Amino acid sequence: SQKIEQNSEALNIQEGKTATLTCNYTNYSPAYLQWYRQDPGRGPVFLLLIRENEKEKRKERLKVTFDTTLKQSLFHITASQPADSATYLCALDMRTGNTGKLIFGQGTTLQVKP
């Protein structure tokens, strides 16, 4: 079965630095890979989607890469701010039709210190 792994240890960085979060998966590559942000006690919020034929995607201070050879996605937040502190979830989009399953990783908690 498809497995997805994110670093379970919290990532602590200093404000202004670039945070890099890793998402690794096994078996076959998904059509899409998504990243979500989740704050404590709240539902996740969609951030970015990257397709298997895209190497990199950017949105403001966020950048996602997708390497199907390494079976890995990296999520970068540049010029990080304390407000970026949250848990970030990676999700593999395994759909074959219009809708279907997302397989979520357990998330990595980011703490940005002022």
Partner 1 sequence: DGGITQSPKYLFRKEGQNVTLSCEQNLNHDAMYWYRQDPGQGLRLIYYSQIVNDFQKGDIAEGYSVSREKKESFPLTVTSAQKNPTAFYLCATELYNEQFFGPGTRLTVL
Tracing tokens 């390497």 back to the chain, one arrives at: 67
Tracing tokens 């998966």 back to the chain, one arrives at: 25
Binders of partner 1 among 10-69, rule CB under 8 A? Answer: 32, 34, 36, 41-46, 49
Answer for the pair 13, 64: CB distance below 8 angstroms, yes or no. Answer: no
Nearer to partner 1 among residue 19 and residue 89 (C-beta): 89
d(CA 33, CA 101): 12
Please tell me whether residue 49 adopts helix, strand or coil conformation: strand
| 96: contact with partner 1 by CB under 8 A | no
Among 24, 68, 76, 93, which residue interacts with partner 1 (rule: CB under 8 A)? 93
Site size for partner 1 (CB under 8 A): 25
Q: Which residues of the chain form contacts with partner 1 (CB under 8 A)?
A: 4, 8, 32, 34, 36, 41-46, 49, 89, 93, 95, 98-107
